[in-house]
Amino acid sequence: MRQRAKFGSRFAAIMAMAGSAVGLGNIWRFPYMVGEHGGAAFIIVYVLCCLTVSLPIFFSESLIGKTTRKDTYGAMEQIAPGGKLKPVGFMAILAAFVIVCFYSVVGGWSFNYLIRSLAGSFNGLDMASAREVFASVGSSPVESVSCMLVFLGMTALIVVAGVDKGIGRFSKISMPVLLVMMLLIAFVSLSLPGAGKGVEYLLKPDWSRLDGPAIASALGQSFFSLSLGVGCILTYASYMKEEESVLTAGVWTAVFDTAFALIAGFAIMPAVFAAGIEPAAGPTLVFETLPVIFSKMGVVLPVIFFLAILIAALSSSISMFEVAVAWLVDQKQMRRVTAVLSVFGAAVVLGCACAVAPSVFRACDFVSSNVFMMIGALAFALIVGWKLPREEVLRHLRFPFIYAVIRYVAPVMIVAIAISNLL
Ligand code: PHE
């Protein structure tokens, strides 16, 4: 029997998980959500959501991976021999695959913008031309598809190099570098005249804006941000060394992810306000507003910013890509290279569809984050809370209150967010 791959160190495992967590969600959704939903009040609720719901689900998912030492599908089969849970495993793998396909389109845009900023083509950019550039990047099939392919190719290259030599090594180097780059941008952004308004936007607590939808958004965001429910964390945890703790890995990942989201907020919002522009979210923020602002600060800052986005997107996409690769290697006994090529081939097809048809892109995004992810997270919490032996769970999770949260609180909260997202 082949020896199963492992991360070489605890640092590699934690950086890989943090890499999966830190992604576009932190950069283009979190800062805007904070500002819209009451600043510091929202941050407090977000942290509470992480601590009380998302982190326990993270523990559940990683516990399943670490104890079964299997891919997502194999883990489900091992827990319920006879195949009752197989559909859960299959759906999680499918979800991770669907996410990597539309995520690669955005990854491709980041690559495109990095090249443009390296060429200095954002010099003197105004809002109208920024809109034009983004419209042409997004709507030209050749540009969209070719950049998506480059991004997917980079993802596949890292994954094919192996769990430790590829994913582990990339994460160990890129995560600290990413942190330094974002801190640098935050430093510049905070020193701009008029930046104070952005800080106020992020921090001034406004409890009146903290309504039901705001709380549901906080929960949904903490879920997406910690990459829960689609097998990424499960698969990575299955590569952890025996002596490592899922509690430590989870806490560090959540700390890194939340800190990074906040730093991204301080890198972006003060600059937006200093430029006197209305804050936005999503692609408009990253690909229209920010190029205009950063282009006024020389040629280096836009390069750093788009390189940071590219790295953040890559460190997440490799985790999704690995979910399907692990399944093919473990269950279909494929060689890693063959598995990577197979996933790459399939992803090219759906990725191209996402790149040329915005409706396919939106459908993939909606179904994976509002349906598949929720079902997966619910299933992982229920498995750990109700199916695995209590002693085994407590051996890993140590604190009975975490077990109680996984059994009772997490499932109820997941159903609540799922309903509120679908309404
Ligand atoms: N956590 C990533 C982000 O914040 C997205 C992601 C979701 C990654 C699901 C893997 C799995 O962008």
175 C-alpha to center of ligand 1: Å?
Answer: 15
Kindly state if the Cβ of 230 falls inside 6 Å of ligand 1. yes
Kindly state if the Cβ of 319 falls inside 6 Å of ligand 1. yes
pLDDT at 1: 54
List pLDDT tens digits, range 355-394: 999 999 999 988 988 889 999 999 999 999 999 999 999 9
**To 10 degrees, what angle do helices 40-49 and 246-274 make?**
160
Token reading at 299: 């040629």
pLDDT at 399: 93
What gap in Å lies between CA 197 and CA 338, rounded to an integer? 52
Kindly state if the Cβ of 264 falls inside 6 Å of ligand 1. no
Ligand 1 atom at shortest distance from the alpha carbon of 22: 4
> Contact at 8 Å (CB) between 55 and 247?
no
What gap in Å lies between CA 401 and CA 345, rounded to an integer? 45
Kindly state if the Cβ of 89 falls inside 6 Å of ligand 1. no
223 C-alpha to center of ligand 1: Å?
Answer: 9
> Contact at 8 Å (CB) between 236 and 253?
no
List pLDDT tens digits, range 75-128: 999 999 988 999 999 999 999 999 999 999 999 999 999 999 999 888 888 888
Residue nearest to atom 11 of ligand 1 (CA): 227
Confidence of residue 283 (pLDDT cuts 50, 70, 90): confident
Kindly state if the Cβ of 316 falls inside 6 Å of ligand 1. yes
Domain ranges of the chain: 10-422
pLDDT at 140: 87
Kindly state if the Cβ of 95 falls inside 6 Å of ligand 1. no
pLDDT at 328: 98
Read off the pLDDT of each residue in 245-271 and give the average, rounded to a whole number.
95
Kindly state if the Cβ of 218 falls inside 6 Å of ligand 1. no
pLDDT at 210: 85
| Average pLDDT over all residues of the chain | 93
120 C-alpha to center of ligand 1: Å?
Answer: 30
Kindly state if the Cβ of 224 falls inside 6 Å of ligand 1. yes
Read off the pLDDT of each residue in 52-78 and give the average, rounded to a whole number.
96
pLDDT at 316: 98
pLDDT at 326: 98
103 C-alpha to center of ligand 1: Å?
Answer: 9
Kindly state if the Cβ of 60 falls inside 6 Å of ligand 1. no
Read off the pLDDT of each residue in 137-144 and give the average, rounded to a whole number.
88
Kindly state if the Cβ of 227 falls inside 6 Å of ligand 1. yes
List pLDDT tens digits, range 219-242: 889 989 999 999 999 999 999 999
Kindly state if the Cβ of 99 falls inside 6 Å of ligand 1. yes
- Residues in Cβ contact with 7 at an 8 Å cutoff, skipping those fewer than 6 apart: 13, 16, 163, 164, 167, 168, 236, 239, 240, 241
Q: Which residue out of 97, 224, 317 has the highest number of ligand 1 atoms within 8 Å of its CB and is therefore the one to mutate?
A: 224
Residues of the chain with pLDDT > 70: what percent?
Answer: 100
pLDDT at 349 over 80: yes
Confidence of residue 2 (pLDDT cuts 50, 70, 90): low
CA-closest candidate to residue 159, choices 76, 216, 100? 100
100 C-alpha to center of ligand 1: Å?
Answer: 9
Residue nearest to atom 7 of ligand 1 (CA): 227
Kindly state if the Cβ of 225 falls inside 6 Å of ligand 1. yes
The one-letter amino acid code at 358 reads P
CATH architecture of the domain formed by 10-422: Orthogonal Bundle (1.10)
pLDDT at 213 over 90: no
pLDDT at 404 over 90: yes
410 C-alpha to center of ligand 1: Å?
Answer: 19
pLDDT at 227: 96
Query: In which residue are the tokens 């958004």 written?
Result: 217
Predicted TM-score (pTM) of this structure:
0.95
196 C-alpha to center of ligand 1: Å?
Answer: 30
pLDDT at 275 over 80: yes
Number of other residues whose CB lies within 10 A of the CB of residue 1: 3
pLDDT at 421: 75
Number of other residues whose CB lies within 10 A of the CB of residue 139: 11
pLDDT at 35: 83
b vs e for 218-242, b when ≥16 Cβ sit within 10 Å of the residue's Cβ? bbbbbbbbbbbbbbbbbbbbbbbee
pLDDT at 10: 96
Kindly state if the Cβ of 106 falls inside 6 Å of ligand 1. no
Q: Which residue out of 72, 94, 102, 225 has the highest number of ligand 1 atoms within 8 Å of its CB and is therefore the one to mutate?
A: 225
- What ranges in 119-164 are assigned the alpha helix state H? 127-139, 141-160
Kindly state if the Cβ of 321 falls inside 6 Å of ligand 1. no
